[in-house]
Amino acid sequence: MQGRKIVITGGFGALGAATARAAVAQGARVALVDFAASAPADLAAALGEGAVLIGGADLSDPTLAEAAIGRAAAGLGGIDALLNIAGGFVWQTLQDGDPGNWDKMFRLNLKTCANASRAALPALQASGSGAIVNVGANGAVKAAAGMGAYAASKAGVHKLTESLAEELKGKVRVNAVLPSILDTAPNRADMPGADPSAWVKPEELAAVILFLASPSASAVTGALMPVTGRV
């Protein structure tokens, strides 16, 4: 990863931050893009002055996504890997849930991924070793009750990954990770009776993401890689 230029969407969140820290520790340069206005102070300090931090970016809008990814590419001097981590989650039954959450899930999970990828493609192809890593979901392989909107949007990410891998074969590698439950503070608060020791730590998932983004995975494209911890 030494010297690789990596753009991370959703970079200010738990997984994005863990991935950014690990990438920098391996010698990469990072640009973090997020809808939040600013990065947490401790994250900015940990990444150092070389990191490009872009807040207030609505990646669900293709024009705004192009502008944000363009700023990231300019700040890094190119893009070798795009890590599409931005997204969201909602649990609701179809009968009692808000129909608007279907649009919300597709906007947050699928459209952000498609828009960021589209915007980054020229720089990724110019890299010569470009890679995209998307974050799908193990819960979209076999959806549980209340997961309809979320799982459908993440299934879209899976199929976008496969299609884009074929579209860009020989030019840019495209893969996805399919995690189960991440061990984050919000998930612990939402599921106080669960055993988080069986969940996937953000640092564990970050390691898989960075492998797929690295030259070590040069023969891997179109893969949907389960990362399910000890569940």
Of 32-36, 91-95, 227-231, minimum mean pLDDT range: 227-231
Whole-model pTM over 0.85: yes
Active site residue 125: no
Identify how many contiguous H helices and E strands the chain contains and give both numbers. Answer: 8, 7
Q: Which of 195 and 207 is assigned the larger pLDDT?
A: 207
Calculate mean pLDDT across residues 98-118. 98
Long-range CB contacts for residues 61-70, cutoff 8 Å, separation at least 24:
61/115, 62/115, 62/118, 62/119, 65/112, 65/115, 65/116, 65/118, 65/119, 66/115, 66/118, 66/119, 68/33, 68/116, 68/119, 69/7, 69/33, 69/116, 69/119, 69/120, 69/123, 70/119
Taking residue 168's Cβ as centre, other Cβ atoms within 10 Å add up to 19
Token couple for 145: 């009750």
The yes-or-no verdict on residue 127 having pLDDT over 90 is yes
The yes-or-no verdict on residue 187 having pLDDT over 90 is no
Residue 76's pLDDT is what? Answer: 98
User: In the chain, which residue ranges form alpha helices assigned H by DSSP?
Assistant: 14-25, 41-47, 62-76, 100-105, 112-127, 148-167, 185-190, 202-213
Catalytic annotation, pick one of 29, 150, 168, 217: 150
Token couple for 4: 């690789």
Residue appearing with tokens 């590698």: 173
pLDDT band of residue 216 (cuts 50, 70, 90) is very high
171-182 pLDDT, tens digit each: 999 999 999 988
The yes-or-no verdict on residue 192 having pLDDT over 90 is no
The yes-or-no verdict on residue 231 having pLDDT over 70 is no
pLDDT band of residue 217 (cuts 50, 70, 90) is very high
Q: How many residues does this entry show for the chain? A: 231
The CATH topology of domain 5-227 is Rossmann fold (3.40.50)
The yes-or-no verdict on residue 193 having pLDDT over 90 is no
pLDDT band of residue 191 (cuts 50, 70, 90) is confident
Domain residues of the chain, as ranges?
5-227
Taking residue 18's Cβ as centre, other Cβ atoms within 10 Å add up to 22
Q: Chain-wide mean pLDDT for the chain?
A: 96
Long-range CB contacts for residues 37-45, cutoff 8 Å, separation at least 24:
38/12, 39/11, 39/12, 40/12, 43/12, 43/17
